[in-house]
Amino acid sequence: MSQSEINLRRIDHIRFFVGNARQSAYFYRNAFGFDVVAYAGLETRVRNEAGYVLKQGQITFVLASPLNANHPESRRLVQHGDGVQDIALEVDDVESAYQTALSRGAISVAEPARLEDQFGVYECATIKAYGDTNHTFVNRDNYRGVFAPGYLPIDPERYSPTTFHSVGLAAIDHVVGNVEEGKMDEWVDFYKKVLGFEQLVHFDDKDISTEYSALMSKVVQNGTGRIKFPINEPAKARKRSQIEEYLTYYGGPGVQHIAMATGNIIGTVQAMRHNDVSFLRVPNTYYEMLPERVGHIREDIETLADLGILVDRDDEGYMLQIFTKPVADRPTLFFEVIQRRGSKSFGKGNFRALFEAIEREQAIRGTL
């Protein structure tokens, strides 16, 4: 079979499994600027879980929580805490994508299903990825509902639309997975063989290292370049890397961070800081060296330094990025905000400063 048979359109949504979906929705709405648009639960005749659909720009998050101990994913919360369960991919043909993936070695989680309600037909099927992370193939060409069967528009009494304020997040740029030492190439091969991705770039422990720790990373993307998945693994070093810390506290491989693109990173970060989002900081010396390292940029460097935004340049332009601190009690999932001005890279020039900032946080936690 040719590698082009699975036509992946885009990331349809990212599903999080969390301890309290209603409270998580409140956090992502009021801190990250997402609009809560749909709900599933007892009131919509869904008996085993509550779910909230959040949207901002082209980004869709689904937050789900079990309503009883018999939920098939309840153990996930004990092992992982809050985290990403599924990176759903929109496809032209769910049945074909699923069967092709299985023929190339994918493991099935859920067979193709046609879910119907008064709004039409929603098609989906799920395969296994790294750790407990899944990929669900989704097609909603014949569905006109707010999200999927079982979900209805949010009751204004639950989340008032008049108090929603976007921070300008526009799309998912990439989703980063952490896997065990020695497993990176295995999962890179999975994406190449099963989903037809290609390897975009490779960073080794010489690129991503500090005095104390190191990691290796490879980036894979689909044929259109709309879906990008960096895969990290720890490398041998003097102390515990951020990847090892993640694997310990998440209880295995999983999604480390989600990078969300904005057209105005200064405005977005200002709004998120106003909403009390905590970001990593690098030393001021980083900004003293910035003009020499990246050359002319449109943004004011003093403003970038005040907000803690990083800059890197490649042959095609430059990019700006910043990383939140972990968003839950476990030092696991965090988010990146990124603005690209031509650059297609991942901030290689920022790696050392960024990872030293992460190590300072690890030292505070006593996990370095």
Residue-wise DSSP of 280-311: ----THHHHSHHHHH---SS-HHHHHHHT-EE
Give residue 195's domain range.
169-365
The values of phi and psi at residue 204, to 5°, are: -105, -175
Q: What is the side-by-side strand order in the sheet with 35-40?
A: 108-117, 120-128, 134-139, 83-91, 8-17, 59-66, 49-56, 35-40, 152-153
Are 217 and 205 spatial neighbours (Cβ–Cβ below 8 Å)?
Answer: no
User: pLDDT tens-digit profile of 221-261?
Assistant: 999 999 999 999 987 765 667 889 999 999 999 999 999 99
Tens-digit pLDDT profile for residues 33-83: 999 999 999 999 999 999 999 999 999 999 999 999 999 999 999 999 999
At which residue do the structure tokens 């669900």 appear?
A: 136
What pLDDT score was predicted for residue 346? 81
Whether residue 148 is contained in a domain is answered as yes
Instruction: Calculate mean pLDDT across residues 107-128.
Output: 98
Q: 138 and 178 share a domain?
A: no
Last residue of a domain, one of 140, 163, 186: 163
256 shares its domain with 288 = yes
How confident is the model over 122-140, as a mean pLDDT? 98
Q: 302 and 205, same structural domain?
A: yes
Mean pLDDT rounded to a whole number for the chain: 91
> What CA–CA distance (Å, rounded) separates 345 from 314?
7
Domain count, the chain: 2
Q: What is the Cα–Cα distance from 100 to 102, expressed in whole angstroms?
A: 5
Structure tokens at 130: 């790294």
- Of 248, 242, 232, 121, which Cα lies nearest the Cα of 183? 232
Same domain, 218 and 352: yes
Does residue 245 lie in a domain region?
yes
Contact (Cβ atoms closer than 8 angstroms) between residue 60 and residue 14: yes
Q: Which CATH number fits the domain that encloses residue 150?
A: 3.10.180.10
- What is this structure's pTM? 0.93
For the four alpha carbons of 249, 246, 90 and 59, in that order, the dihedral sign comes to positive
Sign of CA dihedral 345, 347, 351, 354: negative
- Note whether 323 and 335 are within 8 A (CB): yes
More confident residue, 120 or 212: 120
Pairing of strands 254-262, 228-235: unpaired
What gap in Å lies between CA 202 and CA 230, rounded to an integer? 9
Same domain for 207 and 109, yes or no, is no
Residue 2 domain-assigned (yes or no): no
Does residue 1 carry a pLDDT above 60? no
Instruction: Establish if 3 belongs to a structural domain.
Output: no
The answer to whether residues 195 and 269 belong to one domain is yes
Convert the pLDDT of each residue in 147-178 to its tens digit: 999 999 998 777 766 667 899 999 999 999 99
- Out of 163, 190, 210, a domain closes at 163
Residues 116 and 174 in one domain: no
Question: Do 257 and 292 belong together in one domain?
Answer: yes
Tokens read off for 280 = 């990593």
Residue 209 has pLDDT above 60, yes or no: no
Shared domain for 12 and 143, answered yes or no, is yes
137, 163, 189: which is the final residue of a domain? 163
Q: Do 149 and 180 share a structural domain? A: no
Together in a domain, 315 and 281:
yes
Are residues 198 and 284 located together in one domain of the fold?
yes
